[in-house]
Amino acid sequence: MTDGPSSTSSVDSSVDTSPAWLSPDQLRAWVTMAAFLETVPSAIDNQLKRDTGVNRFEYTMLAMLSEDPDHTLVMSDLASVAFGSLSRLSHAASRLEQRGWVERCAGSGGRRHNVVRLTDEGHAALVEAAPGHVAEVRRVVVDPLDDHELATLRSLLAKMISAADPELGAVLDDLVENVAARNAAADG
């Protein structure tokens, strides 16, 4: 698996076109990361579906709407902070709208856009879902690590996110800082 497939093509043999295959340590890291990507999000999704009937993406939409002072965001902005496409957001908004948890309407202002607003029922559902969600995040992400390991994990993940999507790395930094500042103001 680390040596890669043999090539039988007629490519000029003086030019090395083979990929740089993973070393055993790199392969172990990748396989562990792949297992993480399958198990941890699934555990969180399963808890949310079991306790609230929504998936992780829908929960994130509700949480991001709750962070806005008006509980309203332009759909394209909500898609960005919920880490999904506009199409995925539209489908999820339809499901949440059927439950009465969000409303979609035309936005005001100089440009044409649609907004999503968190309803009072949606906010109440989010408040009810939050303790179970936080407990599951603690169980599978926070509690197995000490403070140093958690800081290292955040740093490593931020590097990988920035490598995959530099714009998202900046959005995440801003989002976390804004939420942390609001939480600190609410506690103080």
In this prediction, residue 152 carries a pLDDT of 96
The DSSP-derived string for 40-81 is HHHHHHHHHHHHHS--HHHHHHHHHHHHSTTSEEEHHHHHHH
Quote the CA–CA distance of 45 and 19 in Å, as a whole number: 35
pLDDT for res 11: 53
Tell if the pTM clears 0.85, that is, is over it: no
End-to-end, the C-alpha distance of the chain in Å comes to 54
| Tens-place pLDDT, residues 3-22 | 555 545 555 566 767 889 99
Identify the structural domains of the chain with CATH numbers, from first to last: 54-128 (1.10.10.10)
| pLDDT(2) > 70 | no
Average pLDDT along the chain: 87
Find the mean pLDDT for residues 116-135: 96
